[in-house]
Amino acid sequence: MTDRDFRQAFDDHKDAVFGFALRMTGSAPAAEDIAQDCFLELLRHPDWFHSRRVSLRAFLLGVARNLAFRMWRREHRLDPLDEDGEGYTPDLAAGDAVELVAAAVQSLPPLQREAIVLFEYEGFTLEEIARVADADVGTVKSRLHRARERLRRILAPLRSGAEGTDDRR
Amino acid sequence: MTDDELSAILKRWKVAPAPPSLETRVFSRRPQAARRSLGWAAGAVAATVAIGLGVWIMHDRRPPDAPAPKPSQPHPADVNKEANKDARNPASRPPVLSVPGRARDSGVPPLKIDAKAADGKLLESPPAVYPEAARAAGIQGTVKLQVVIGKDGRVVEAMVISGNQLLAPAAIEAVNRRLYRSTLLNGQPVELVTEVEVNFRLQ
């Protein structure tokens, strides 16, 4: 990969990689660490990208998700990546709607969070998510379904806000 | 709620673009990363040559009767310098949050101590206030910080190393209210740097 190619890749995808990592980790310093390591991985191993028939963005987000999961495992060694925890009742008086949406996404198990972030915020198709997540389409569909069910439950009180009546409860 | 309605709600969460510091971090480390990509073989050859050269020089310079050199004890200042190497590298750390009204004694690097030793010096540690948004969302976890303890025992700087962004501000606020026993080195108070973990657990 030439200097120019690398610069172009960085300029084109830095916001997507950082945004994805931020939504996955909920921490700006952690997202910056992940984004940095992600681009350095591309520089060290450009052959990894060329050997996979995916877009550069999908490749970079795939590296970023692996780094995010590695970080998550360090902090939650005993917690499974894809298990639904017990439900909870959100307290909508606690913060503004944006903060609660962020908190709701953060509360998803990591694999469900990955599916919802790639689908809703990155605009990936199910097939693209399956390639990034190294899973089959059916599994991704199931994760997305469970993530949506949980988010619907948590964010239900914001529904009228989504229609533009009130942004804060 | 339909999928479209849920999407509309989710889209309210917009994140900021990558900070300018990311570019500095990536491009300042780029030559190092590129060197690593030369591969293990080149590295191994270089290391072998360097070790061989070092052994040859040491052997050549040591008087015939001189005892083998003992592993030298590093000077405390050097240990401190090494321990803080990463922390001092502006490219490797997130922004440091200074406590308003309190200032670092700039110029002298703080002495690094481990978390257990720092806990032993703790005089006051008011509990962290659980952020309501995090509680409402069922978020719990540990926020890890690097803190600089001033000569008067109060925290003068706090930097988040890891942890959820909804919990981090409360963790910083909690450590800023901590009070430690002052530490003397050669009769003079010194600044300390250590790591602190603040746990947030839902009942």
In this complex, which of A30, A45, A91 lies closest to B132 when CB atoms are compared?
A: A91
Query: Are both A65 and A112 inside the same structural domain?
Result: no
Inside any domain, residue B71: no
Assess whether pLDDT exceeds 90 at residue B107: no
Query: Are both A103 and A119 inside the same structural domain?
Result: yes
Range of the domain at A90: 81-169
Inside any domain, residue B67: no
Give B53's pLDDT tier (boundaries 50, 70, 90). very low
Inside any domain, residue B94: yes
Token pair 């919802």 is found at A116
In this complex, which of A10, A71, A100 lies closest to B133 when CB atoms are compared?
A: A100
What is the tens place of the pLDDT at every residue in B56-95? 444 444 444 444 444 444 443 443 343 334 333 433 344 4
Query: Are both B34 and B119 inside the same structural domain?
Result: no
Query: Are both A158 and A88 inside the same structural domain?
Result: yes
The whole-model pTM stands at 0.53
Nearest-CA distance B18 → chain A (Å): 5
| B201 or B103, greater pLDDT | B201
Query: Are both A70 and A117 inside the same structural domain?
Result: no
Closest CA to A62 of A127, A144, A135, A134: A134
Share the mean pLDDT of chain B: 71
Query: Are both A6 and A73 inside the same structural domain?
Result: yes
Distance in angstroms (rounded) separating the CA atoms of residues A56 and A4: 15
Query: Are both B149 and B193 inside the same structural domain?
Result: yes
Beta bridge partners of B197: B144
pLDDT of B161 reads 87
Residues of B in contact with A23 (CB under 8 A): 13, 15
Inside any domain, residue B68: no
Nearest-CA distance A134 → chain B (Å): 24
Give B34's pLDDT tier (boundaries 50, 70, 90). low
The CATH number that applies at residue A12 is 1.10.1740.10
Query: Are both B93 and B129 inside the same structural domain?
Result: yes
Query: Are both B106 and B167 inside the same structural domain?
Result: yes
Residues of B in contact with A29 (CB under 8 A): 94, 160-162
| Nearest Cα residue in chain A from B26 | A36
In this complex, which of A14, A28, A90 lies closest to B165 when CB atoms are compared?
A: A28
Nearest-CA distance B95 → chain A (Å): 8
Residues of A in contact with B34 (CB under 8 A): 43-44
Q: Which residues, at least 6 apart from B124, have a Cβ–Cβ distance to it below 8 Å? A: B177, B178, B179
Inside any domain, residue B9: yes
The CATH number that applies at residue B84 is 3.30.2420.10
pLDDT of A121 reads 93
Domain boundary among A79, A98, A129: A79
Query: Are both B22 and B84 inside the same structural domain?
Result: no
Give the residue from A24, A44, A48, A92 with the most B CB atoms within 10 Å of its CB, the best one to mutate. Answer: A44
Query: Are both B48 and B88 inside the same structural domain?
Result: no
Is A147 at the interface with chain B, CB within 8 A? no
Distance in angstroms (rounded) separating the CA atoms of residues B139 and B127: 17
Concatenating the DSSP letter of every residue in B42-75 gives HHHHHHHHHHHHHHHHHHHHS-TTPPPPPPPPPP
- In this prediction the ipTM stands at 0.77
Query: Are both A118 and A156 inside the same structural domain?
Result: yes
Nearest-CA distance B168 → chain A (Å): 8
- For residues A96 and B9, the answer to whether their CB atoms sit within 8 Å is no
How many distinct structural domains can be found in chain A?
2
Inside any domain, residue B158: yes
Distance in angstroms (rounded) separating the CA atoms of residues A133 and B167: 28
What is the tens place of the pLDDT at every residue in B148-168? 998 888 998 888 888 888 888
Query: Are both B134 and B40 inside the same structural domain?
Result: no
pLDDT of B75 reads 42
| B46 or B26, greater pLDDT | B26
- For residues A35 and A64, the answer to whether their CB atoms sit within 8 Å is yes
The CATH number that applies at residue A157 is 1.10.10.10
Query: Are both B22 and B111 inside the same structural domain?
Result: no
Q: Report which secondary-structure segment, H or E, holds A67.
A: helix A56-75
Query: Are both A71 and A99 inside the same structural domain?
Result: no
Range of the domain at B139: 76-200
Query: Are both A70 and A96 inside the same structural domain?
Result: no
Inside any domain, residue B89: yes
pLDDT of A16 reads 94
> Nearest-5° angle of CA A145, CA B5, CA A149?
25
Query: Are both B52 and B103 inside the same structural domain?
Result: no
Inside any domain, residue B69: no
How many distinct structural domains can be found in chain B?
2
CB contact under 8 A, B37 and A39: no
Residues of A in contact with B35 (CB under 8 A): none
Is A37 at the interface with chain B, CB within 8 A? no
Query: Are both B45 and B104 inside the same structural domain?
Result: no
pLDDT of A169 reads 33
pLDDT of B49 reads 46
pLDDT in tens, chain A (169 residues): 788 888 999 999 999 999 999 999 888 888 888 998 899 888 887 777 766 667 888 889 999 999 998 887 776 655 555 555 544 444 555 567 788 888 889 888 889 999 999 999 999 999 999 988 889 999 999 999 999 999 998 888 887 644 444 343 3
In this complex, which of A15, A85, A90 lies closest to B18 when CB atoms are compared?
A: A15
Domain boundary among A50, A79, A108: A79
Give B188's pLDDT tier (boundaries 50, 70, 90). confident
Query: Are both B107 and B12 inside the same structural domain?
Result: no
